Structure 1
Amino acid sequence: MFHFRKLNLTQNPFRLKPSQNPGFHSTTKKPPESHKKSTIKEAQAALLEYLHSTRGLQFLDADNMCKNSPFFLNDLLNKALSQNHPSVGTKRSVSRYLRYHPINEFEPFFESAGLDPFDYAAFLPREMIFLNDDVLLMENYHTLCNYGVRRTRMGKIFKLTPQVFRYQRGVLVSKLRGYEKLGVAPTTLVSVIPYSPCLLVGDADLDFVKAVEQFKDVVVVAKDGDWVDGHLLNGGCCDWGIVHQLLCMLDKVYGKEQMGNFIVCRSCVVFEESGGRALSLFAFLVKFGLSVNQVSLLFLEFPQILVSKFLSNLRQCFVFLREIEMEPVEIGQIFQFHSMMMGSSTMRKTGSLLGCLKVGKKRLCRIVRDNPLEMENWVLGRKVEPLANSSLEPESKMLKKEFLLSVRYMENSRKLNEVIKLFRGRGAELRERFEFIVKAGLDSEDVLKMIQLSPRILNQTTDKINMKIEFLVSEGYPLTTLVNFPSYLSYRTERVKLRLSMYNWLKDHGAAESGLALSTIISCSDQAFIKLYVNRHPSGLQVWQDLKTKISSVLEECWLDRLVKITIFLLLPTYPIYIADDFCSVLIF
Structure 2
Amino acid sequence: MIGQLNRFVVFCPVSNENPNIVQNPSFISVKFRSFCSTRLTQQPQISLTESNHSPNSVLATRVSRLARTEGQDVLFDYLHNTRSLTFPDAEHISKNSPHFVENLLSKINTNKDVTRSLTRYLRYNPINEFEPFLESLGLSPSELSSLLPQHLMFLSDDHVMFENFHVLCGYGIPRSKIGRMYKEEREIFGYDYGVLALKLQAYEKLGLSVDSKFVKVLEKLKELGFKNDWIGGYISGKVSYNWNRIFDSMDFLDKVGYNDEQLRSLFETNPALAFEGSGRKVYVLFGRLLKLGFKMNEVYSIFMQNPQILSGKCANNLLQAVGFLVEIGMRMEDITKTVSAHVELLGLCPLKAPKTVCSELKVERDGLCQIIKDDPLKLFHLASKTKVKINQRVVQQDPSTHLEKTAFLLRLGYVENSEEMTKALKKFRGRGDQLQERFDCLVEAGLDCNVVRHIIKHAPMVLNQSKDVIEKKIEYLKNFLGYPIESLVTFPTYLCYDIERINHRFTMYAWLRERGAAKPTLTLSTILASSDARFIKYFVDIHPEGPAMWESLKKSTSS
TM-score relative to the length of structure 2: 0.38
Q: From the CA coordinates, give the structure whose radius of gyration is larger.
A: 1
TM-score (norm 1): 0.37
Higher relative contact order (CA 8 A, sep 6+): 2
